[in-house]
């Protein structure tokens, strides 16, 4: 399964290599925008994209980005709860 993480393009870092800086929940990383690049790369600045393994795979709207980020936060909270349950069960089994 592939997971795309929403990020906002904040600047074009190397137009020749189709590279841009994306902000993903406050963390900035360089991504390749070849899959979403149009005639004018600068049009991507401010756009929300789905990022997978360093590539911007699709342009999405702000609402979709917000919903996806919220779902991912929920999954993280669910994962933490499952880990706590597993730790509790392990502690009980060791008694």
CATH code at 15? 2.30.30.140
| Confidence band of 2 (pLDDT split at 50, 70, 90) | low
| Confidence band of 77 (pLDDT split at 50, 70, 90) | confident
Number of independent structural domains in the chain: 1
Domain enclosing residue 83, as ranges: 5-94
* 23 SS3 class: strand
Question: What digits encode the pLDDT tens for the residues 27-57?
Answer: 899 999 999 998 899 999 999 999 999 999 9
DSSP states of 31-76: EE-TTT--S-GGGGTT-EEEEETTEEEEEE-HHHHHHHHHHHHHHH
Region of poorest pLDDT, from 9-13, 25-29, 33-37, 60-64: 25-29
């Amino acid at each position: 399964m592939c997971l795309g993480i929403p990020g906002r393009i904040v600047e074009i870092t190397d137009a020749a290599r189709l590279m841009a800086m994306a902000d993903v929940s406050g963390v900035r990383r360089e991504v390749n925008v070849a899959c979403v690049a149009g005639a004018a790369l600068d049009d991507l600045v401010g756009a929300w994209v789905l990022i997978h393994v360093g590539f911007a795979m699709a342009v999405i709207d702000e609402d979709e980005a917000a919903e996806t980020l919220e779902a991912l936060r929920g999954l993280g909270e669910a994962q933490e709860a499952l880990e706590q349950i597993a730790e509790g069960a392990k502690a009980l089994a060791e008694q």
